[in-house]
Chains A and B, each alone.
Chain A
Amino acid sequence: MTPATPVVSRRFLLPVLLLSLLTGCASAPAPRGSGDLGVVIERSIGQVQVVNTTSKTALAKVPGLGDLSHASVVFSRDQRYAYVFGRDGGLTKVDILNASIAKRIVQAGNAIGGAISQDGKLVVAQNYEPGGIKAFDAETLELVADIPSVDMNGVRSKVVGLADLSGNRFAFSLFEAGEIWVADLSNVKAPKVQKYSAGKQPYDALVTPDGRYYIAGLFGEDGLAMLDTWQPEQGVQKILAGYGKGEQPLPVYKMPHLRGWSVAGGKAYLPAIGRHEVLVVDTKTWKETARIPVKSQPVFVMARPDGREIWVNFAFPDNGWVQVIDTLEGKVTHTLQPGKAILHMEFAPRGEAVWLSARDDNKVTVFDTRTKAPVAELKAESPSGIFFTSRAARTGF
């Protein structure tokens, strides 16, 4: 007896195969990586653009993020989600791959930014009003801890300079109280807080890339307040004290923004307050080694990932300028005018390009960091912050 013949004869096999492939393509988009992606804040329309640093193009827009006139972003550890902290206290978890809002809450009245824990499980917001920090489950955005910034005199301060440390600890500063606090959230049900006197009016802070030194810039005095988080029992130390040399400070029209991007080649490059200078400090001795005169009040002082250059932008009314410092020569080598109101700069992960937002030109311009020439432009409505997913792997970002 002969075996039964198959129902589908060979004549129909190829068309059936093609049809199933086509329907397969329509329902399952090709997987893509997120390592070369980022977001650009469009500050006046409450929208972010998802951008690609390989193609140097925008992929999508995600509206509905509230007041982004000041906004800051951290990324989930899998580089899939951007947590956008908005000025109005909005906290939005944006799915970068699907260009959609995964979750959104309003957690305060006036907020300045946030951080993500070492293990990626907690997202923490720093708030001006009501002053304090709030920790959220990174998955669900459920509130898990709330630490008001009330000092021993009962005064509630604006919180600035939030940075993640190891072990789900967070360091932050209190503007009015002049204090540095370190909150241990390794057990969110029972946060432990250590408090230190820092100095007059800390306006922002950074943590060094190794997560060791927390450094708060001071507005009310010449100097910075530094805490060695590996030896906290030593307390807060002043560095660069008296750098103003008793001279009348120049007006500061916008506060500098501090991050670990200031550290390169064994030195920290820090914006002076009220002086048109970048202050250079040796990160072994914490003594000043140089000062580099620049065009105006620095706002962002950022090392290219290889540390060979420091790119600097400036406060109003000189925010149309950018300068480049060569760290080997220790001086400014390029003075650029990339556009009107350069609010932010962000290096591609390995630093071959830098993206600059030109708020008043409604564009983001991409510069080749070797040639210092523009290589691409993207349209954006009043762009401000630019954040790439490579931040996910960096402590303090």
Chain B
Amino acid sequence: MKPAISFPCICLSGLGLTAALLPLAVSATEVAVPAPRAQELVHMVRQDCGSCHGLTLKGGLGPALTAETFRQRPAESMVATILHGRPGTPMPPFKGIINEAEAQWIVQQLQAGFPNE
């Protein structure tokens, strides 16, 4: 049973400023999302992304999003897929519903093994 992930309450604008000062690639920096929003995102991924990827993230119309399948893929391309979709497939763009930092956070959670609700 995965331990619950703690959500440090670092505000996003502060993080953005810090990231601008650091020479690191964004994907290497751990992104934090405030706790209430993080809970919404966990719910959204499990329930609504889960329409195609499964509540258990083991796949359905869409591929499995388990940590095993996810770890092999570069984070940037996964963030881009979430935000812009995959044309020609049923994967829709989620930009406008979530922002880039939130997409990065989701990818990091998926790579680590996505939390349960």
Q: List the interface of chain A (C-beta within 8 A of B).
A: 43-44, 67, 69-70, 87-88, 110, 112, 128-129, 158, 175, 201, 203, 219-220, 251-255, 316-317, 341, 359-360
Contact = CB atoms under 8 A, between A and B. Distances in A.
Given A87-B54, A128-B61, A220 B48 contact: no
A203 B60 contact: no
Given A158-B61, A253-B51, A255-B61, A69 B90 contact: no
Contact of B47 (A67, A129, A220, A341): A341
B60 A112 contact: yes
15 contacts: A43-B55, A69-B50, A69-B56, A87-B60, A110-B59, A110-B60, A112-B60, A220-B88, A251-B93, A252-B92, A253-B92, A316-B51, A317-B48, A317-B97, A359-B47
Given A219-B90, A317-B97, A254 B60 contact: no
Contacts of A316: 44, 48, 51
Mostly, the B contact residues are: loop
Contacts, number: 55
Contacts of B43: 360
B85 interface: yes
B47 A203 contact: no
A160 to B, nearest CB: 8
A129 B60 CA distance: 9
Interface residues of B, number: 20
Nearest to B58: A110
Nearest to A252: B92
Identify the 4 closest CB pairs spanning chains A and B, nearest first.
Answer: A69-B55, A251-B92, A316-B48, A254-B51
Interface of B: 43-44, 47-48, 50-52, 54-56, 58-61, 85, 88, 90, 92-93, 97
A251 B85 contact: yes
Contacts of A251: 85, 92-93
Contacts of B97: 317
A67 B90 contact: no
A305 to B, nearest CB: 27
B60 A67 contact: no
Contacts of B90: 201, 203, 219, 252, 255
Contacts of B59: 110, 128-129
Contacts of A175: 61
A243 B61 CA distance: 24
Contacts of B51: 253-255, 316
B48 A254 contact: yes
Nearest to A70: B60
B18 to A, nearest CB: 30
Nearest to A273: B90
Contacts of B54: 67, 69-70, 87, 110
